[in-house]
Amino acid sequence: MGIYTDLAREAREINPDILGVTEQEEQIGDVNISRIEVQSQQASDELQKPCGRYITIEAPTLSNRDTQVFKQVGELISKEFMSLLPNQGQNISVLVVGLGNRGITADALGPRVVEKIFVTRHITEHLPDIIGKPMRAVAAVAPGVLGTTGVETLEMLRGLVERVKPDAVVAVDALASRRAARISTAIQLTDTGIHPGSGVGNSRMGLTKESLGVPVVAIGVPTVVYASTISQDTIQLIAQEAGMNEEAEKMLNLADQVISEHYGPMIVTPKDIDTVINDMAGIIADGINIGLHREYYSQVEELLA
Amino acid sequence: MGIYTDLAREAREINPDILGVTEQEEQIGDVNISRIEVQSQQASDELQKPCGRYITIEAPTLSNRDTQVFKQVGELISKEFMSLLPNQGQNISVLVVGLGNRGITADALGPRVVEKIFVTRHITEHLPDIIGKPMRAVAAVAPGVLGTTGVETLEMLRGLVERVKPDAVVAVDALASRRAARISTAIQLTDTGIHPGSGVGNSRMGLTKESLGVPVVAIGVPTVVYASTISQDTIQLIAQEAGMNEEAEKMLNLADQVISEHYGPMIVTPKDIDTVINDMAGIIADGINIGLHREYYSQVEELLA
Amino acid sequence: MGIYTDLAREAREINPDILGVTEQEEQIGDVNISRIEVQSQQASDELQKPCGRYITIEAPTLSNRDTQVFKQVGELISKEFMSLLPNQGQNISVLVVGLGNRGITADALGPRVVEKIFVTRHITEHLPDIIGKPMRAVAAVAPGVLGTTGVETLEMLRGLVERVKPDAVVAVDALASRRAARISTAIQLTDTGIHPGSGVGNSRMGLTKESLGVPVVAIGVPTVVYASTISQDTIQLIAQEAGMNEEAEKMLNLADQVISEHYGPMIVTPKDIDTVINDMAGIIADGINIGLHREYYSQVEELLA
Amino acid sequence: MGIYTDLAREAREINPDILGVTEQEEQIGDVNISRIEVQSQQASDELQKPCGRYITIEAPTLSNRDTQVFKQVGELISKEFMSLLPNQGQNISVLVVGLGNRGITADALGPRVVEKIFVTRHITEHLPDIIGKPMRAVAAVAPGVLGTTGVETLEMLRGLVERVKPDAVVAVDALASRRAARISTAIQLTDTGIHPGSGVGNSRMGLTKESLGVPVVAIGVPTVVYASTISQDTIQLIAQEAGMNEEAEKMLNLADQVISEHYGPMIVTPKDIDTVINDMAGIIADGINIGLHREYYSQVEELLA
């Protein structure tokens, strides 16, 4: 069907019967947390997602912009995020990488999160006693995109990781979803890193333990959908309601071709994406900041204000 | 079919046989200019567009971001824009109004154009001789939207128009189109003013000669589409290709209902809307500035740099 | 001496012996609140400040960017601000006006505050029962400056005030101080409105009860100093330390002339003005929002998130 | 006297008699170009500027914001800039580095220039034939500052330079001047790299050929002055006019102490710094872009629009 998604949860929805995948769901009030583990290479190939853990937090009430829900989801992210770090010790160092183009709102989630990260690496190096207890060393960069820097993100980060030697990289990026409704309401966390483009094949160019030499936890939020998936979903929904199996099959077979001829690979985002990015950047930065600095959060907040 | 569009050209495409409408097309290189006049009240009711003139400039090559095309389209806008002003004398005064919410990129076209307008009203009042010839008096405001000001745009502008007493208002706004392809490539100019929402019924709340007391020329660019129209278009295209008239009819009848249940009134914009708004704001401001100040353009440009 | 200041407290410091002025100081922790009332026309002429009340909140620890101090000062502003409103009833309506040019950081305090104001006028008009108790009707506009709109601020606001009919206007503006140290640490509130430029003479062009027809409370923060005052202060300080009365007198007499020849009317702002404006806009908006909506603050915050 | 300046021209003005320095001046219309070469280690120590070439372009008419002057100065920068590159061949690669904090306007010159650089490295690598002749490979990054990334700029760049292997680094930064009048009107170019802080001593932490392994051309614009220099200059000017040598000497001796007690190390910038940074970023980016891509400038401009 040629439907692309960055979310393991959606890949799984489309292929619910593949073996080698474990799934678990948890409901906390209005928030759903799904935990998927891709365990076999065959499952990985079929889902087009590398082996590893995928946690999706879905909070439909986020779109109401209620500050209580923002806080709740930030807290949930902080816990899930820390659970994906291979080492959670108080002396670890972490490099937060905000991927994407800060000039394109729908792609600016990463850089906006980086602006809100409590950066402490220079304090731990130069003023280790200022806090009075061990503090995790956090650095944060937004390396830009190939089109505006002329340098591949991986090239940019390899040299940096060699010098900063973090215990883990946390990569934040905007994702493509199959369902527009997930844009303001879902967050995916994974220990498999970032795999740009459509699959796991070119993992050499992704940001992964293999390419960077340190574990990479990725946190992403859907911000765009392919226009074609909106049409495909509609046809399927109509076909279901009308019981038109045969005709729908025929139409879906034509859809890809017709859509790509008339629309091209059009990628869309909600009209209010500015608000979504702003809210989500705050929630994810809260999750990372609270997770890494929980023990002395209020102190750090003041110190770095 | 419940399909909404702000473009008279699209309303006409859907209803090509309605009487009381004149149409004319002109092709200049890659640029198409369509001139529609809605002449009878019946045509107005059926197209849901007030009587008056609608000029649509379509330049598909704008999406290549070629500066030569930008200049060409700016020049075309300047001519069409001036042709819609009832009085083009050298002593007129014009109030440019940038509608929309500057915090929502897809809605920020108006405020961004206003930032680029050569404002001269204070110069003509206080330093009339600085240029050495008559200069049109241009003022420019971005009044914000009800949700962020608490004041209706019309309330905001009525008092201002009473005091500034311009010969014409030029209102710039972002529009909704039926076709995503028009988002970066079409500009509509009309002498009928601005009619918020879906029709001509509530003209009392629009920005029109009736409500403001002076002629209102509106310039708009499509920046958003209803997600539902993407689906509806796809179904129609598929049905055409496959010759599935009956089933398609059935599907289209279901589409509205299914889409509104599953998507709600979702409005989308292209992923690169930041770039589109930036380019289009520059082109439209060029059109207005050149049109109003052609006689001493280089001088004014310097004076107001 | 030709020293200009927007702060009544500074005008008083320079002229401590003028009659017709009452003064009172209060110290709350690190925060100093001074309350000055200019009571006679003669005092007004000598201080170049109109008759009325001037409250200056000075919090030197604001420059440490401690969130606790931000909250404390926001709360103090809310009380002093409300005390200056002639009518504090639950049914009043208020128009908040953010003066200044949003494109010049040091002048952008007003527009930035307006972005953070809880606007409720449209809710009280259209959905009066949504909160369940009376809610003050708050509107907010940033009218821009003459150079970018071509329209005098007073012209812009008169028409608006006539239509919106608020019980009071609250005008927020950036001020000029004599002392750079006050830039990130002082807030002046007054019931005398806004008097642009150097004096009380041209009150016709100010934003005052006389010009707008409703009471005007002004809230301002020093963001700029004249470069010449930095020099003049230095000379005075040196003269004091060195006991060089005669030579200092001679130098101060020359200072004005020399400075204006060599520097012109240079106005400077601290290097980190972006941070100052951001912090101060938040604190002042908090003060206004809490003051006007204290009874249902948490509800409104949620409603308008 | 403890007066700090980043401009070799100003250091020379204060110490006009030091040996081991060559100077040359050229006047082109309203523009003055000064070329200083620090040739001996002793001169370097006394001027606190490393050995090498320093070109200062001063164009007082830049502050009038005349687009013709902008173009003229951009063209002059392009020539002087290219003359400082050790290798000007058509096949060289260049890494443009925009230093400074994009969130502090007065410090944002570097990042703003980077946004306007024509980046071609990815095109030369992946599509070498698109232009039809050799094209210099230009990459551009804005690495941020220690306080927001937690990583020293030098650490950040070393890894990048090792991988990108440019023939030269071009570092753009905001400078401190002794004279506020130079802020909107002077550009310094040098082949000695960047030396943060007050001297040449800690060249290890600077961005230089020694620390990065490739030649570093630095382009800077004064954007800030120490408040204390405004006072010191005033005292000197007054003393000169009044012929008060003895008293002035006494005052200047006290100035440092009095100023640092009462003002601290206050650094100021003109009120309209937003406009200055915007204009200067455009002019410097023009200079770099034209210099590196002159042969096919119009083509590249179109290609990268």
What DSSP assignment string belongs to C237-248?
HHHHHHT-HHHH
Length of chain C, please? 305
Mean pLDDT of A231-237: 79
Q: Are A232 and A87 in contact (CB under 8 A)?
A: no
Contact B119 C147 (CB under 8 A): yes
pLDDT level of residue A238 (50, 70, 90 thresholds): confident
Contact B244 A267 (CB under 8 A): no
Q: How many CB atoms are located within 10 Å of the residue A253 CB?
A: 12
Whether the CB of B224 is below 8 Å from some CB of chain A: the reply is yes
- Which tokens in the block code for residue D261? 């007690």
Instruction: Enumerate neighbours of D (3 or more CB pairs within 8 A).
Output: A, B, C
Q: What is the tens place of the pLDDT at every residue in A186-214?
A: 999 999 999 865 443 444 579 999 999 99
> CB-based contact (8 Å) between B236 and chain A?
no
Residue B116 pLDDT exceeds 70: yes
Question: C-chain residues within 8 Å CB-CB of D260?
Answer: none
- Tokens representing A112? 């906006």
**Length of chain D (residues):** 305
How far is C101 from C9, CA to CA, in rounded Å?
25
DSSP string, A97-127: EE-S-TTSGGG-HHHHHHHTS---HHHHHH-
Residue B73 above 90 pLDDT?
A: yes
* C-alpha C301: how far from chain center: 25
| Residue of D92, D127, D156, D289 to mutate, testing the A interface (most A Cβ within 10 Å of its Cβ) | D156
Query: A243: Cβ–Cβ under 8 A, 6 or more apart, which residues?
Result: none
Q: How far is CA B149 from CA A71, B11, B155, B161, C119, in A?
A: 28, 32, 11, 18, 6
Distance, CA of C99 to CA of C102 (rounded, Å) = 9
D298, closest residue in chain B (CA to CA) = B67
Residues of B whose CB is below 8 A from A224: 271
Query: Of D247, D258, D269, which has the smallest distance from its Cβ to C269's Cβ?
Result: D269
Among B293-302, C131-140, D33-42, D295-304, the minimum mean pLDDT is found in D295-304
User: Do the chains contact at D272 and C181, CB–CB below 8 Å?
Assistant: no
Whether residue C5 lies within 8 A of chain D, CB to CB, comes out as no
d(CA D301, CA B66): 9
Region D233-250 average pLDDT: 74
CB proximity A122 to D under 8 Å: yes
Residue C122 near chain A (CB below 8 Å): no
Distance between CA atoms of residues D55 and B231, nearest Å = 61
Check A150 against D103: CB less than 8 A apart: no
Nearest to A159 among D120, D144, D163 (CB): D163
Residues of D whose CB is below 8 A from B301: 67
Q: What stretches in chain C show pLDDT beneath 70?
A: 1-3, 131, 196-204, 244-245, 263-264, 298-305
* Gap between the Cα atoms of B87 and B93, Å rounded: 10
Q: How far is CA B33 from CA A76, A175, B29, B59, B189, in A?
A: 55, 38, 11, 9, 11
Write down the pTM of the prediction. 0.92
Alpha carbon distance C14, D176 (integer Å): 33
ipTM value, please give it.
0.90
With 90 as the cut, is the pLDDT of residue A26 above it? yes
Residue B141 pairs in a beta bridge with: B97
pLDDT the model gives residue D1 = 42
CA distance A97 to chain D (A): 10
Partner residue facing A271 (CB), from B106, B228, B262: B106
The average confidence (pLDDT) of chain A is 88
**Chain C residues closer than 8 Å to D267 by CB:** 270-271
**pLDDT tens by residue, A137-190:** 999 999 999 999 999 999 999 999 999 999 999 999 999 988 877 888 999 999
D301 touches chain B (CB under 8 A): yes
**Touching check for D266 and chain C: CB below 8 Å?**
yes
The nearest alpha carbon in chain C to A299 belongs to C66
Strands B186-190, B216-226: pairing is antiparallel
Q: With a cut of 90, say whether residue B121 has pLDDT above it.
A: yes
Q: Which residues contact A151 (CB under 8 A, 6 or more apart)?
A: A143, A144, D121, D122, D139, D141, D160, D163, D164
User: Which pLDDT does position D250 carry in this prediction?
Assistant: 74
Residue C271 to residue D267, Cβ atoms within 8 A: yes
Residues 6 or more apart whose CB falls under 8 angstroms from that of B108 comprise: B100, B101, B102, B174, B277
Q: Is A126 on the interface with D (CB under 8 A)?
A: no
- Quick check: D156 and A141 CB within 8 A? yes
Contact across the interface for D140 and A149, Cβ inside 8 Å: yes
